[in-house]
Amino acid sequence: MQTAIRHCLFAMAAVVCGILCASSSGGAQDNPGGTKVPAAAGFKVAGVVVSSTSGTPLRETRVTLVNTKNRREAVWIITREDGRFEFAGLGAGKYSLEGARRGYTPAALE
| Number of domains the chain contains | 1
Residue 32: per-residue pLDDT? 53
Q: Could you tell me the pLDDT band of residue 94, with boundaries at 50, 70 and 90?
A: very high
Query: Is 5 buried (19+), middle (13-18) or exposed (0-12) by CB count in 10 A?
Result: buried
**pLDDT tens-place string over residues 11-64:** 444 334 333 333 333 334 445 555 454 555 589 999 999 887 888 999 999 999
Is 0.85 surpassed by the pTM of this model? no
Dist. CA 35–CA 94, nearest whole Å: 19
Residue 83: per-residue pLDDT? 95
Hey, what amino acid is at 35? T
CATH value at residue 26 = 2.60.40
Residue 26: per-residue pLDDT? 38
DSSP string, 29-79: BP-TTSPPBPTTS-EEEEEE-B-TTT--B--S-EEEEEETT-TT-EEEEE-
Residue 108: per-residue pLDDT? 85
DSSP string, 93-110: S-EEEEEE-TTEE-EEE-
Residue 26 lies in domain: 3-109
